A and B are shown apart, each in its own frame.
Chain A
Amino acid sequence: MTRSFTLTRRAALAGFAGALAAPGIKPSMAQAAPIKVGVLHSLSGTMAISETALRDTVLMMVEHQNSKGGLLGRRLEAVVVDPASNWPLFAEKARELLQVHRVDVTFGCWTSVSRKSVLPVFEELNGMLFYPVQYEGEEESKNIFYTGAAPNQQAIPAVEYLMSDDGGGAKRIALLGTDYVYPRTTNRILRGFLNSKGIGNADIMEEYTPFGHSDWQGIVARVKRFASEGKKTAIVSTINGDANVPFYRELGNQGIKAEDIPCVAFSVGEEELAGIDTRPLVGHLAAWNYFMSVQSPANTEFLNLWRAYIKNPRRVTNDPMEATYTGFNMWAQAVTQARTTAVDAVRPAVIGQKFAAPAGYTEEMLPNHHLSKPVMIGEIQADGQFNIVWKTPNAVPAENWSQFIPENANRRRG
């Protein structure tokens, strides 16, 4: 009780201070100190393939917001740092953003290991991080808003689809992943889910490879062998980063067709496919909450904004970019509503924010700091885009504590 009282009082004070200061700075937005937006994405190393586009998205949003007159009459200023796909460096850079640059909000991280690395920093220094990527769940921090999918919004529906008639009726699943926390936790949840659906451990294969792995011939050959047991087999890939390029090349070279062994990926989107010849991959799948091919007015607006900013017709949009865009807009709405950028005042205002996302649904920030999002499954097309073959009728609320992990039983009840 005391705690929430302090919070409100601090928020009220901040709001009061803002109200006092506001008339003074109104004449020129440039005169007021800018609102600082931290960008914490790897611009080099193995994750650069995925994260560079997210930096571009935040920069685009900052520019766009400034063209609309900034926020609270103040200009926005992006502070970009490069943690270089180096997990301990993420923590150092986060500290630099919060202590040296004193950013008001940060957009950043892709891999869960990087998020786990910065989490204690954001909690210690009471920062605010918007994390835009689907992840394994099992986490909730008051300093982080998770705008990507929880497992029940991506992994589980995707596997359910593979097991359905439309998805081919898979009875055997090969779980291939990069060796770190996200794939291992996701696969633990998926194993629990598959077991609950009557798929035994004998019909599940699980393999991990290091980041940046390039020699996939043995593993792909083993998957082929695993698939010759007379049961429909599918691959569930939690392979992250640029290891996907040689992986998909090997799938194509060894002639694994989507009709025989479909592969559904959780970390491969339009951006990752941009460097691959997708003709041999037609029909392989990805599960996300947004695809560039979604037809919705909000997506048209998003795409126009992106194309005008990036000025390169070949650059694509993808799910984590959409999650960044949605998160940024929710933060901006919350700041406007709270009339301050103070973390403690903005935090309660973010919860409950609604935004008509490019995915074509109105998404809402839930009290568990996760979004309600639609789930979509797309098949890779010859042009590197996705053809949406399945989606949920409504936005699905996130369950960040999975019911398929036994230890969560108490937490879920409590």
Chain B
Amino acid sequence: MKRILLLLLLLALALPARAQDAMIEALPGLGGGFGAQATAVERLGALGDPRALPVLRALADGRLLRGADGGLLIREGDQLLDAATGAAVPRPEAEPARININNRVRVALRGALGRLQIVSPDPAERLAAAEGVFRMRSAENLPLLEAALTREAVPRIRERLELALGASRLASEDLEAKRAGIAALGASASPEARAVLLEARAANAALLPEIEAAVAAIDRRLQLRQAAETLFQGLSLGSVLLLAALGLAVTFGVMGVINMAHGEFVMLGAYTTVVVQDLTRDIPWLAPWSLPLAVPAAFLVTALIGAAMERGLIRHLYGRPLETLLLTFGVGMMIQQAVRLTFGAQNREVISPAWMQGTLMLPGDIAVTQNRLWILAFSLVVLALVVAAIRFTRFGLEMRAVTQRRAIASSMGIRTGRVDALTFAFGSGIAGIAGVALSQIDNVSPNLGTGYIIDSFLVVVFGGVGSLAGTLIGAFSLGIINKVLEPWAGAVLAKVFVLVAVMIFIQRRPRGLFPQKGRAAEA
């Protein structure tokens, strides 16, 4: 704080009196209406006076206040500074009012702060500054940007600076500069650059062919990128379907139990996440790990409930699918109502850790959202674990033996009842794990599960009952088909189309993509 003050003082001494006057003159506008504020911000940005930086930052953060006498004050911690001089002032009797801004002022601020922060030592600030200056599209920024480009070493910031330079050149009066600007913008794959070019059409009728060519070039690159993004969205939806369906692939696919309460196990997993987060909230070293912690917790909770359900109810109804369906449907409703009574009907908030927020830029400017990327990776890990458990463990071997030839497995000394319970618990536990992941992208409410039950059955049946590979391929192909159709048909119709397509497919191949072969299939 002191250092900033000292710097401000030195600057005030060093600057010629006229510049100081211009800044002081522009300041009161910041306390006016939105129009006056925007004008004042633009003036301060154009002056390039670094003393305006703390004032503009304060305005952007809501720390600029209006004193009772109309003077502007900056709140810095629990101190008040005079906006014009930067000197600390005693706290006035009347509480100073916060100065509010709107989007128009925010746009002006982004440009002005961009001009002032383009020399910042912090790369994140420089990147934001390049974005801000880019959106100003003003020829006045040319010298500033040229100077910044000679200094800049970070490729990502350079890229944005080039774009900003291109946009500024396009806004200049010189025809050659305009041409260079169009070329620079056209060399990018940025939708914003495309917007700048299209906007410039009206004012540059003479350059229309060049502009059109540049837009076409961007469009070609964007098309590739859009295809990649649609693919990612499809994979992401597929991973959600896969997670939701994996548990069912075990209980329905392997055991043949039509478990209508499957969605409720997913929901219970999500609520376990809420509980784990509530419990760890006040333990600082544990709180960031609440989500990874919720995974085993959710598995245990839902597996236990699943085992109890199998031992208590379902085992009495083996071989009677209709009764099982009705029974599990009823249990599902009871679980839903129990959760509603315990946690309330309102949605519960789940905290997303910082590493699951925001967008990740892949090479080629392909934007993927972090939370979806994590869920995609998580679904594959869970799938791998399930496959490993079934293939390589003693439990998996017994499970396969019991589902293939119960009588023979039993005569070989396998306790079939215990294996049934464990298998059902295993499938339910996986549904619980899915709930942890889904809590990050969906609303955690007692109804969470009902949204996934149909999709889960769809995936398992489409992929081929009893085949994990089928579940995997089924989930991802349904996800991608859905996302490819969505832009054409809209979210509602795309889903209808997918349903119709699956219906036709099942008519042709009743056993799905990967039908079970051999004796197990006939059993």
> Which residues of A pack against B, CB within 8 Å?
43-46, 48-49, 52, 165-168, 179, 207-210, 212-215, 217-219, 221-222, 224-225, 227-231, 242, 245-246, 249-250, 252-255, 258-260, 262, 275, 277, 283, 285, 379, 381-382, 387, 389
Complex CA–CA separation, A252 to B359 (angstroms): 9
In the complex, the chain A residue whose C-beta lies closest to that of B336 is A44
B326 at the A interface (CB under 8 A): no
Asked if B369 and A242 sit within 8 Å, CB to CB, the answer is no
**A-B contacts, 20 listed (Cβ < 8 Å):** A45-B345, A48-B347, A52-B346, A166-B35, A212-B447, A218-B230, A219-B486, A219-B491, A227-B195, A228-B198, A230-B196, A230-B199, A242-B443, A252-B358, A253-B358, A253-B371, A258-B106, A277-B352, A379-B102, A387-B102
Type the 1/0 row for B72-115, where 1 means its CB is closer than 8 Å to any CB of A.
00000000000000000000000000001011101100100000
Complex CA–CA separation, A249 to B443 (angstroms): 11
B143 at the A interface (CB under 8 A): no
B243 at the A interface (CB under 8 A): no
Given contacts A245-B347, A262-B103, 16 further A-B contacts (CB under 8 A): A43-B345, A45-B345, A165-B104, A167-B104, A209-B492, A215-B240, A231-B198, A242-B443, A246-B442, A252-B357, A259-B110, A275-B349, A283-B106, A285-B103, A382-B62, A387-B100
B430 to chain A, nearest CB (A): 20
Complex CA–CA separation, A387 to B369 (angstroms): 29
Asked if B196 and A218 sit within 8 Å, CB to CB, the answer is no
A109 to chain B, nearest CB (A): 17
Q: Which residue, B102, B230, B447, B451, has most C-beta atoms of chain A within 10 A?
A: B102
A243 to chain B, nearest CB (A): 8
Q: How many residues of B contact A (CB 8 A)?
A: 56
B4 at the A interface (CB under 8 A): no
Complex CA–CA separation, A86 to B110 (angstroms): 46
Complex CA–CA separation, A261 to B6 (angstroms): 40
B237 at the A interface (CB under 8 A): yes
Which of A225, A250, A259 makes the CB contact (< 8 A) with B106?
A259
Asked if B490 and A207 sit within 8 Å, CB to CB, the answer is yes
Question: What residues of chain B lie closer than 8 Å to A49, measured between beta carbons?
Answer: 346-347, 443
> Which residues of B pack against A, CB within 8 Å?
34-35, 62, 100, 102-104, 106-107, 110, 135, 191-192, 194-201, 222, 226, 229-230, 233, 236-237, 240, 340, 345-347, 349, 352, 357-359, 367, 369-372, 441-443, 445-447, 451, 483, 486-487, 490-492
In the complex, the chain B residue whose C-beta lies closest to that of A243 is B443
- Across chains A and B, which 9 residue pairs bring their CB atoms closest together, nearest first? A230-B198, A228-B191, A230-B199, A44-B345, A389-B102, A214-B442, A253-B369, A275-B349, A242-B443
Question: What residues of chain B lie closer than 8 Å to A249, measured between beta carbons?
Answer: 352, 441
Question: What residues of chain A lie closer than 8 Å to B372, measured between beta carbons?
Answer: 217
Question: What residues of chain B lie closer than 8 Å to A389, measured between beta carbons?
Answer: 34, 100, 102
Asked if B103 and A231 sit within 8 Å, CB to CB, the answer is no
Asked if B490 and A208 sit within 8 Å, CB to CB, the answer is yes
Question: What residues of chain A lie closer than 8 Å to B107, measured between beta carbons?
Answer: 168, 259
B513 to chain A, nearest CB (A): 23
Asked if B443 and A212 sit within 8 Å, CB to CB, the answer is yes
Grouping DSSP codes into helix (H, G, I), strand (E, B) and loop, the B interface class, with mixed when no group exceeds half, is helix
A410 to chain B, nearest CB (A): 33
B202 to chain A, nearest CB (A): 9
Q: A212-B443, A259-B110, A275-B347 are in contact. Are A228 and B195 (CB under 8 A)?
A: yes
Q: A228-B192, A228-B195 are in contact. Are A222 and B487 (CB under 8 A)?
A: yes
Q: Which residue, A46, A48, A49, A208, has most C-beta atoms of chain B within 10 A?
A: A48
Q: A49-B347, A283-B106 are in contact. Are A229 and B487 (CB under 8 A)?
A: no
Question: What residues of chain A lie closer than 8 Å to B358, measured between beta carbons?
Answer: 252-253, 255
Complex CA–CA separation, A254 to B197 (angstroms): 23
Asked if B443 and A254 sit within 8 Å, CB to CB, the answer is no
In the complex, the chain B residue whose C-beta lies closest to that of A207 is B490
Asked if A250 and B369 sit within 8 Å, CB to CB, the answer is yes
Q: A52-B345, A221-B233, A225-B191 are in contact. Are A283 and B443 (CB under 8 A)?
A: no
Q: A255-B359, A259-B106 are in contact. Are A207 and B34 (CB under 8 A)?
A: no
Complex CA–CA separation, A107 to B138 (angstroms): 55
A374 to chain B, nearest CB (A): 18
Grouping DSSP codes into helix (H, G, I), strand (E, B) and loop, the A interface class, with mixed when no group exceeds half, is loop
Asked if A212 and B359 sit within 8 Å, CB to CB, the answer is no
Asked if B492 and A258 sit within 8 Å, CB to CB, the answer is no
Question: What residues of chain A lie closer than 8 Å to B491, measured between beta carbons?
Answer: 207-210, 213, 215, 218-219
Asked if B196 and A254 sit within 8 Å, CB to CB, the answer is no
Asked if B447 and A45 sit within 8 Å, CB to CB, the answer is yes
In the complex, the chain A residue whose C-beta lies closest to that of B230 is A218
Asked if A165 and B196 sit within 8 Å, CB to CB, the answer is no
Complex CA–CA separation, A309 to B340 (angstroms): 23
Q: Which residue, A166, A168, A246, has most C-beta atoms of chain B within 10 A?
A: A166
Q: Which residue, A46, A228, A275, has most C-beta atoms of chain B within 10 A?
A: A228
Asked if B347 and A225 sit within 8 Å, CB to CB, the answer is no
Question: What residues of chain B lie closer than 8 Å to A213, measured between beta carbons?
Answer: 491
In the complex, the chain B residue whose C-beta lies closest to that of A388 is B100
Complex CA–CA separation, A208 to B34 (angstroms): 34
Complex CA–CA separation, A252 to B340 (angstroms): 29
Question: What residues of chain A lie closer than 8 Å to B195, measured between beta carbons?
Answer: 227-231
Q: Which residue, A250, A382, A389, has most C-beta atoms of chain B within 10 A?
A: A389
Asked if A230 and B197 sit within 8 Å, CB to CB, the answer is yes
In the complex, the chain B residue whose C-beta lies closest to that of A179 is B492
Q: A207-B491, A217-B369 are in contact. Are A166 and B34 (CB under 8 A)?
A: yes
Asked if A44 and B340 sit within 8 Å, CB to CB, the answer is yes
Asked if B192 and A217 sit within 8 Å, CB to CB, the answer is no
Asked if B357 and A212 sit within 8 Å, CB to CB, the answer is no
Complex CA–CA separation, A258 to B102 (angstroms): 10
Q: A166-B102, A259-B103, A379-B103 are in contact. Are A215 and B110 (CB under 8 A)?
A: no
In the complex, the chain A residue whose C-beta lies closest to that of B340 is A44
Q: Which residue, B62, B191, B346, B486, has most C-beta atoms of chain A within 10 A?
A: B346
Q: A218-B487, A227-B195 are in contact. Are A166 and B226 (CB under 8 A)?
A: no
Q: Which residue, B106, B226, B240, B349, has most C-beta atoms of chain A within 10 A?
A: B106
Question: What residues of chain A lie closer than 8 Å to B102, measured between beta carbons?
Answer: 166, 283, 379, 387, 389
B113 to chain A, nearest CB (A): 12
Which of A230, A242, A262, A382 makes the CB contact (< 8 A) with B445?
A242
Q: Which residue, A179, A218, A246, has most C-beta atoms of chain B within 10 A?
A: A218
Asked if B106 and A246 sit within 8 Å, CB to CB, the answer is no
Question: What residues of chain B lie closer than 8 Å to A381, measured between beta carbons?
Answer: 62
In the complex, the chain A residue whose C-beta lies closest to that of B237 is A215
Which of B135, B233, B347 makes the CB contact (< 8 A) with A242?
B347
Question: What residues of chain A lie closer than 8 Å to B486, measured between beta carbons?
Answer: 218-219
Complex CA–CA separation, A382 to B106 (angstroms): 14
Question: What residues of chain A lie closer than 8 Å to B445, measured between beta carbons?
Answer: 46, 48, 242
In the complex, the chain B residue whose C-beta lies closest to that of A168 is B103
Complex CA–CA separation, A124 to B217 (angstroms): 64
Asked if A229 and B345 sit within 8 Å, CB to CB, the answer is no
Complex CA–CA separation, A167 to B34 (angstroms): 10
Complex CA–CA separation, A142 to B357 (angstroms): 50
Complex CA–CA separation, A139 to B98 (angstroms): 42
